[in-house]
A and B are shown apart, each in its own frame.
Chain A
Amino acid sequence: MMNSQAGPAPAVRIDGLTVARGGRTVLHGLDLTVARGSVTGLLGPSGCGKTTLLRSIVGVQQVAAGRIDVLGAPAGGAGLRHRVGYVTQAPSVYADLTVAENLRYFAAVLGAPAGDPARVTAEVGLAGSEHRQAAQLSGGQRARVSLAAALLGTPELLVLDEPTVGLDPVLRQDLWELFHRLAEAGTTLLISSHVMDEAARCDRLLLMREGRLLADDTPAELLARTGAPDVDGAFLALVAGAVDRTPGSPS
């Protein structure tokens, strides 16, 4: 495999993950690994099971079958709860509290250092808005408060569900720069998106469709293998079955 390496266990290793919701199978025996210190993009149309996969990795999803190891331990274990940061798709912060009050509370729950709320506020570009109530912020600002809360306590793995949706291009670029800075400092990031043009910003791509993995590649390899001009084209080529699936992955 491309990303097999000596040293510590991968950030995420999934074997045969199957999840059923409401009597319907939404993930069909997924196998994948996410290397430490990488920015991995999880791409696919909405409804393809991205959120269910991310929920399984943070350990809040009931799983029908399969094994998920996160940072070398079974997903959802008590020891992982301050090592993994999770940002849900809808901002999960208290709308009736100020930015600072939200972050102070989550920092207290995590036992994060006292200076952490100020640090993460600056990292997501919300300095100066500390004393505004979350309900008064724009959707994009609220999403960044939610992201800031996940950065508290400097988790080793960040699981972000569509963190850049609805943000203006300048902000999106700022956030992607932040993600790469975090990765350089050793954090592993798994970021879902249904916007294919964000793929180029990732070290590695997981392409999903209808609960199955279409590809697990670097962006360059994916384009080279499919001969497509962009990730959208690569996705279509893979769906059409014009090329083989990732070498080594079970068919």
Chain B
Amino acid sequence: MAHPAFVTPEPIATASAVVAKGLSRVFGGRRAVDDVSFELHEGECLALFGPNGAGKTTLLRLLAGLLSPSAGLCLVGGASLRSGPAARAQVGLISHASMLYSTLSARENVEFAARLHGMPDPVGAARSALTSMRVLDRAETPVRSLSRGLQQRVSIARAIVHVPRVLLCDEPYTGLDEVGSAALTEALRERRTSGAALLLVTHNLAEGLALATHAAIMRRGRFARYEARGDVDATSYATEYRELVSVDA
């Protein structure tokens, strides 16, 4: 790799959950993601910051297997996402859109996701996912009748119902109240301690750094900074982030 700043920090655990090598995605003439490389091991959490249009969402969609890279590759649990559907089973995605069917109830939505992932006990899995997001009492309500924040909680339950080993979160705290945020943080911590790798996109630096083992700043499709959390000074990071980003403004 060209820049010394991109060298992967020392891994905490051994097995690598996510590997991106020279990952690029071009839309028409625009390079939304441009030669991004990083590695995340089990139990690690990468907090990804960056201004709007930096390519964070595209990167997440590449890692979820929803987009195919124009160049480079990404491995999840050692398997390429392009090799077949199986590798996608290990990934969970919380995105801007709820990915829910509005006429179906919260329980039906989450159970459907559990069945699609071939969970042995979809009913139980859905129940425990909804419980962890504290929306079990609204499980039978059609999603369209739920408030925005509750929909977000159901959406998160949908994303974690299959106990993914890699959890990609695109601004997951948006719209959540205190109870929801606490439930999400708890769920993310639980996923991490049981060996999942997390990728957390957020605008809130404090929120991201609280959970992270690594931090990266994305700008114009590239990682402008990438380092271990231990090397980050939380107080000066905000200033440095603003300086880095203001180049575009």
Are the chains A and B members of one assembly? Answer: no
What is the interface of chain A, defined by CB distance below 8 A to chain B?
A: none
What is the interface of chain B, defined by CB distance below 8 A to chain A?
A: none
